[in-house]
């Protein structure tokens, strides 16, 4: 039987959105229809090579047959049954995530920002249990991004996001700079947690300095605070390891996940080590949708595909290849500044032309993104091939050449 969902034209879509949506997004002129592998197709059938992957969500690419099968089978069986009852997959997914992360327990929610909210509640509950009501301070880093709900926004240290919504949640201190000295100065026994992204994403693709990560672990231990790794963007294979923190010799106490976890179906998770295993008790936290059977079955399939197809190794190898290629372009195009990143999470400093480069790439059938105004952010699906990286590099070369010729 046919569904009754309308199939509107681009014009109808744009008009309806302009009139009836809160205008929270500045959309590019791309009307997505469907996808296949690393490619997205628009409503007119034009093909785009996707070097953004839905902002690190579509890590298996589009239309992966195992995901399509799991969606169809589980969609027909059971989408939701509430957390008042058991479903087949939530416990299994928690077990698998414990295996790959070294954590002990999971709580499932529906987005990254909710995973951060849960981590903040774990931090506050942990602090209270260890040191009473005074041990409630949460430290976060300049330039960080942890989400948009009021709790998550309070530790998202970017003025443009915070300013319109003050007052925010109290008991948060933002480090002015990501240095060991600043961290030492901010730490005290009042701190219950330090939250950081092992590789900052929205802030412009900045891997944490190794000495900073080591100091973070040491100071958390000395002051009885939790180290929370926000792996929402950099986790699940993207950096060439299961988790971004594995690129350092440091193990966090709490890990947040979302984005690619269930292949685009909304699912977030907070994972906690043995130390915090008893922190949340019945009634302390909950959500209607989190950890539903469809989301968890999809996530189990995602983790299994990552292993079966060697996608972590692919992220490392194609990431190195891509980074090398961009560094090569830097030798011929003066606009290319620092190239940094890990695995398939790469940032390219392009100064004032970053947004223009992104627009022109789109015109040539490549989806990429500029973050933090000046940084070209490349986060292709983990299934991307070297040939597709070459295709991307050729287009970037052409776009940079065109811009230079016009100036
Ligand atoms: C590191 C990080 N944390 C948290 C979030 C928020 O996740 P969500 O948009 O699913 O709420 C994001 C989203 O970009 C992110 O990159």
pLDDT digits (tens, 9 = 90+) for 150-159: 999 999 999 9
Q: Is the CB of 146 under 6 A from ligand 1?
A: yes
pLDDT-derived band at 372, boundaries 50, 70, 90 = confident
Asked if residues 108 and 90 have their Cβ atoms less than 8 Å apart, the reply is yes
Residue 32 — very low, low, confident or very high, per pLDDT cuts 50/70/90?
very high
Structure tokens, 219: 């100071």
Cα separation, 211 vs 222, in Å, equals 16
Question: Higher confidence at residue 217 or residue 5?
Answer: 217
State percent of the chain over pLDDT 90: 97
Interval 108-112 mean pLDDT: 98
Mutation probe of ligand 1 site: the residue of 255, 258, 265 with most atoms within 8 A of C-beta: 258
Distance CA 27, CA 222 (A): 46
Kindly state if the Cβ of 113 falls inside 6 Å of ligand 1.
yes
Burial class (CB in 10 A: 0-12, 13-18, 19+), 118: buried
Annotation says 145 is catalytic: yes
Q: Is the dihedral of CA 395, 398, 404, 407 positive or negative?
A: negative
- Residue identified by tokens 């296949």 is 36
Mean pLDDT of the chain: 97
pLDDT over 80 at 230, yes or no: yes
258-274 per-position pLDDT tens digit: 999 999 999 999 999 99
- Kindly report, residue by residue over 309-352, the tens digit of the pLDDT: 999 999 999 999 999 999 999 999 999 999 999 999 999 999 99
Given a contact cutoff of 8 angstroms between Cβ atoms, the answer to whether 407 and 356 are in contact is no
Mark out the alpha helices in 187-310 (DSSP H runs): 210-222, 293-308
Match 């973050």 to its residue by tokens.
Answer: 371
Residues 10 and 341: their CA atoms lie apart, in Å, by 36
CATH code of 67-308, in short, is: 3.40.640.10
**Residue 4 banded pLDDT, cuts 50, 70, 90:** confident
Q: How far is the CA of 73 from the centre of ligand 1 (A)?
A: 29
Same CATH topology for 10-63+310-406 and 67-308? no
Encoded tokens for 318: 């194609």
Q: Which residue CA neighbors atom 16 of ligand 1 most closely? A: 233
Domain residue ranges in the chain:
10-63+310-406, 67-308
Fold assignment, 10-63+310-406:
3.90.1150
| Catalytic-residue membership of 221 | no
User: Rounded mean pLDDT of 53-59?
Assistant: 98
The mean pLDDT of 46-73, rounded to a whole number, is 98
What's residue 140's pLDDT?
Answer: 98
Taking only the tens place, the pLDDT of each residue in 187-218 is: 999 999 999 999 999 999 999 999 999 999 99
Q: Is 230 tagged catalytic?
A: yes
| Statement: residue 1 has pLDDT above 70 | no
Average pLDDT over residues 106-130: 98
Helix (H, G, I), strand (E, B) or coil at 31: coil
């Amino acid at each position: 039987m046919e569904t009754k969902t309308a199939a509107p034209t681009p014009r109808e879509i744009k008009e309806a959105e302009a009139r009836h949506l809160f205008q929270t997004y500045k959309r590019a002129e791309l009307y997505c229809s469907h996808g296949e592998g690393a490619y997205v197709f628009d409503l007119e059938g034009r093909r785009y090579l996707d070097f953004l992957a839905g902002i690190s969500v579509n890590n298996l690419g589009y239309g992966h047959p195992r995901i399509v099968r799991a969606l169809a089978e589980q969609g027909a069986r059971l989408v939701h049954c509430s957390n008042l009852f058991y479903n087949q997959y939530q416990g299994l997914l928690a077990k698998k995530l414990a295996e790959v992360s070294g954590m002990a327990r999971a709580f499932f929610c529906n987005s990254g920002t909710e995973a951060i909210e849960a981590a903040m509640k774990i931090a506050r509950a942990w602090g209270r249990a260890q040191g009473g009501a005074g041990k409630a301070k949460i430290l976060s880093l300049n330039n960080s991004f942890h989400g948009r709900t009021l709790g998550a926004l309070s530790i998202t240290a970017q003025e443009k996001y915070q300013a319109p919504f003050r007052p925010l949640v109290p008991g948060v201190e933002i480090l002015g700079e990501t240095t060991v000295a600043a961290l030492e100065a901010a730490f005290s026994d009042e701190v219950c947690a330090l939250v950081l992204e092992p590789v900052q994403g929205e802030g412009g693709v900045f891997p944490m300095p190794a000495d900073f990560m080591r100091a973070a672990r040491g100071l958390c231990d000395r002051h009885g605070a939790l180290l929370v790794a926000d792996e929402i963007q950099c986790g699940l294979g993207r950096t060439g390891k299961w988790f971004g923190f594995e690129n350092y010799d440091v193990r966090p106490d709490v890990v947040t996940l979302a984005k690619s976890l269930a292949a685009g179906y909304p699912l977030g998770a907070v994972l906690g080590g043995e130390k915090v295993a008893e922190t949340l008790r019945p009634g302390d936290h909950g959500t209607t949708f989190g950890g539903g059977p469809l989301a968890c079955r999809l996530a189990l399939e995602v983790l299994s595909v990552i292993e079966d197809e060697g996608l972590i190794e692919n992220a490392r190898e194609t990431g190195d290849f891509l980074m090398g290629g961009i560094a090569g372009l830097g030798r011929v195009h003066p606009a290319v500044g620092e190239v940094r990143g890990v695995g398939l999470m790469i940032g390219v400093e392009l100064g004032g032309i970053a947004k223009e480069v992104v627009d022109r790439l789109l015109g040539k059938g490549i989806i990429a993104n500029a973050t933090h105004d000046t940084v070209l952010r490349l986060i292709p699906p983990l299934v991307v091939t070297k040939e597709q990286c070459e295709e991307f590099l050729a287009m970037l070369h052409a776009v940079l050449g065109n811009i230079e010729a016009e100036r």
